[in-house]
Amino acid sequence: MSSRIKASSRIQAATFCKNEKVVYPGHGVAQINDIVDKQVAGNKACFYELKFLNKDVTILVPTHNVDSIGIRRLASSEHITDIFKTLMEPSKRISQETATNWNKRNKDYQCKLRTGDLKEICKIYRDLKNMSVYKELSFGEKALLQQTETLLAQEISLVQNMREEKAIECLRSLFDKAAYTRHNQVATL
């Protein structure tokens, strides 16, 4: 079987290669270990075998489902630069009602996480980091903050060719610089 296969469905699906690293929304970066054909319910189906880099988990994903799942290629260096810029932007104001209604915010955050959109994940991270300055985060908020930080750091480390710990340092320092700048701007008003 060819190491490159075109997944087909009604809409043209993404094409991935064996050994390519991809992002599985909400779970992080995985490597395509193999492209396999299997018999499922009497029909031949083609699957990507994904091995997650930071988990001891391997899954099979039907090639025709990659678009609906949201599996995508790693971001470009330019996109990572945009992510860093987004971290420097102020968070949108969260109303007192929304701030106290964790269930509503969590539902919104989980929907954004499932899209796998790196910019949306970055905004969740930024909003939670900003919120942590003004109030102690709940257990769920802390867990989500950790998850978004891990997802961002995984991808940034691979794209920027650095250790994941260094990527986490970069994320935190960018946020700290942005918070310091915003604090000084407010202090001078």
pLDDT 10s digits, 154-189: 999 999 999 999 999 999 988 766 554 544 443 444
Contact 164, 154 (CB under 8 A): yes
pLDDT of 149: 96
Q: What is the pLDDT of residue 134?
A: 81
**Contact present, 103 and 140 (Cβ < 8 Å):** no
Q: Which value, to the nearest 10 degrees, does the dihedral of the CA atoms of residues 109, 114, 116, 117 take?
A: -40
**pTM exceeding the 0.85 threshold for the entire prediction:** no
Could you give the 3-state DSSP secondary structure of residue 188?
coil
Token pair recorded at residue 44:
């031949």
Query: pLDDT tens digit string along 71-124?
Result: 999 999 999 999 999 888 877 666 555 556 778 888 999 999 988 899 999 999
> With pLDDT > 70 as the criterion, what percentage of the chain qualifies?
80
